[in-house]
Amino acid sequence: MRGTARTIAIAGISAVALLATACGGDSGTPAGNGTGNGTETGAAPGAGGGEIVVNGCTPENPLIAGNTSETCGGNILDTITAKLVHYNADDAAPENDIAEEITTEDNQNFTVKIKQGYKFHDGTEVKAKNFVDAWNYTAFGPNGQSGSYFFEPIEGYGDVSAEDATVEELSGLAVVDDYTFTIKTTAPVSNLPVRLGYTAFAPQPDSFFADPEAFGKAPVGAGPFKLTEYNEGTSIVVEKFADYSGEFGGQLDKITFKIYQDMDAAYNDTLAGQVDVLTSIPNSALIDDKYKSDLGDRNAEAETGVIQFIGIDTVADPSLADPAIKKAISMAIDRDTINQQIFNNTRVPATGWVPPAVDGYKADQCGEACVYDAAKAKAALDAAGGYDGELTLSYNGDGDHKAWTEATCNSISQALGITCTATPVVDFKTYLTALSNGEMKGMWRLGWQMDYPSIENFLAPLYAKGADSNYYGPYDNPEFEKKLAEAAAADNLDEANTLYQEAESIIAQDMVSIPMYYGKAVIGWSEKVNPVKINAFGVPDYASITVK
C-alpha cells in the first residue's frame, strides 16, 4: 500500500463559500504549460551528476522495505532499493532488474534466476537467499511487518502469518542455488511476476537480520542510491551508489528529501530556488493557475495510478453500515464543482475504484452513486431511513485536505439536510494508527498509489479479508473473496482482469468506500534542473532528472 497524504490547507480561502457560490461543474481539464510527461523539445542538455533538493515527508515507520506501506517512506526506499522487477517510468510495464528470468508453466510454480554480481550498498552480493530470507521475515506474523499481506499467495503463509506463529519460513519458498530460488503459491496467481517490483519484495542483506530495528534508520539496499543521512523530522539524504549494478540509475549524485509540514512553504522554497523538485502543487497555487504564472514552463501534469476516496469503518460507526446510506452520501457530493473550485480541474472525478491509468480499468463501475444529484441523494437517504446526528469527515492535518473535505461536507449538508463537519487529525502517522486500531468514527479520507500496475492492487490489498489496509470494519464478503480467487487462478491476464472487474462490481454493490478522484500529478521544479518527467506512479522520475 502507498496511502497518500501530502499537502496542507488553502490559506485564506473558504471552501464552504466556494462551493456554496458555485453553479454547475465543468470536468474539463485545461491544457497545462508542461507537456504531460514533463519532457519538452529544445530543453538544455543535462550535465552529468549534480545535487537536487526535493520536498519530502516523515515516514510512518523505520525504512524497512517490508514495513513501509505509505508514500513518505516508500519514495525514499524506491531510490535505495532494487527488486526483481523494475516498472517502466512511462507505462509501469514490468522489466527485469535483479531478475535474469522468471518462468512458470502453470502460474503456480515459479522459478526465479537472478543476475550474478548485483551488489548491496555494503558491498555484499545479492543472492537468492537474500530474497527468501527477507520474504520469510516480512511474512512472519510476530515481526509485525505491514507488508506481510503481500506474501499471502505463497504456500505456507497461513502457518507463518499469525501473531503467535512459530513456523518462520514459507513452505512455498526454496533456495536452489546462489542465484536461483523457487516460489510455489497455494493456487495459480496470474499476475505474480507483475507484483514482484513492489517494495515489500526487495531483498535484504545479511546485516539486516542482525538488528532490524537499527537497520531501519540506516537501511542498506541494492538500488542506485544509498542512504547517507537520516535527520529525523528534517531531511533524508541519498547519494549515488558507485557500484550500482542495474540499468536504472540516472545521473544525479545526490538527492536531499527536505521534510515539510506545510506544502505552501515547500512551494515558496521552490520559487526561491531552495527546492529543486516539488512533488505536488499546493491547492493555494492551483487557484486561477497561479502556479503556471509563478513557474512558467517549469511544471508538468500527468494522469496516474492513484485514487482518492472516502472510507467508513462500519464497526466503529454502525450508523453508516447500510450501503444505501453510503450511496446517498456519495450522490450528494458534487465532485465536478469541488474539482473546479478547489483543485482547478487538476483531478479526475472518479467513476469507480480503479483509475484509468491501471491495467484492468473499467469505466462507470460506481454508476449513478458517483453522479451528483441532490434531489436523488435526499430521496435515497430518506428511503434508507435517514441519518441522525452529526456526520464527520476526518483528514490528516499535515496534508492539503482541509479545503476539499470542507467543500465535500458542505455539499453533503446542502443536499441531504444534515450536518457534516470536516475534522483534522494531527498528522498522517497518528491518522493511520487510528485507522489500524479501528478508532476512526464517521467518514475519513485516504488515497492509494498503486504498488504495481494491476487492477488487483486496487482491490485485494484494500478490501480482501485480512488485508493490511482493510480498514472498513474490516470488510468481509465471501462472494468478493471467491471472485478474487477466480481471478488469481485465471489462465491469462485478460481473463483475470474480467474477473477482477466483477469483483469491483461487488465493491460497488456494498459501497465499501466512496470514490472521489483519480490522480493527476501536478509538479514543479526550479531553474536549476531540466524539465522533470512524472512516472506512472505519479512521482518524479529521478532516473531521468538532470541539472543544467
Predicted confidence (pLDDT) per residue in 173-183, tens digit: 999 999 999 99
Specify the domain boundaries for CATH 3.10.105.10 within the chain.
Answer: 15-30+304-520
Kindly state the cell numbers that stand for 190.
Answer: 496470474
Bridge-based pairing of strands 513-525 and 348-349 is antiparallel
Written out in words, the top-level CATH class of the domain with range 15-30+304-520 is alpha beta
Task: Give the number of other CB atoms < 10 A from CB of residue 42.
Answer: 5
Give residue-wise pLDDT tens across range 131-160.
999 999 999 999 999 899 899 999 999 999
For 515-542, what is each residue's pLDDT tens digit?
999 988 999 999 999 999 999 888 999 9
Distances from the Cα of 422 to the Cα of 444, 519, 539, angstroms:
9, 21, 28
Q: Domain 79-213: which topology?
A: Dipeptide-binding Protein; domain 1 (3.90.76)
| CA 88/CA 444 separation, integer angstroms | 33
Which ranges in the chain are annotated with CATH 3.90.76.10? 79-213
Using CB atoms within 10 Å of the CB of residue 240, give its burial: 0 to 12 exposed, 13 to 18 middle, 19+ buried: middle
Q: How large is the C-alpha radius of gyration of the chain? A: 23
Output 283 or 238, whichever has higher pLDDT. 238
The mean per-residue pLDDT over the stretch 71-81 comes to: 94
Identity of residue 503: A
Question: DSSP per residue over 492-506, as a string?
Answer: SHHHHHHHHHHHHHH
Backbone torsions φ then ψ of 426, nearest 5 degrees: -50, -50
Q: What pLDDT band is residue 271 in, cutting at 50, 70 and 90?
A: very high
* pLDDT digit string, tens, across residues 284-321: 999 899 999 999 999 999 988 989 999 999 999 999 99
pTM greater than 0.85: no
Give the distance from CA 75 to its chain's centroid.
10
Mean of the pLDDT values across residues 158-174?
Answer: 96
418-449 pLDDT tens trace: 999 999 999 888 898 899 999 999 999 999 98
What is the reported pLDDT for 423? 96
Provide the pLDDT for residue 25: 27
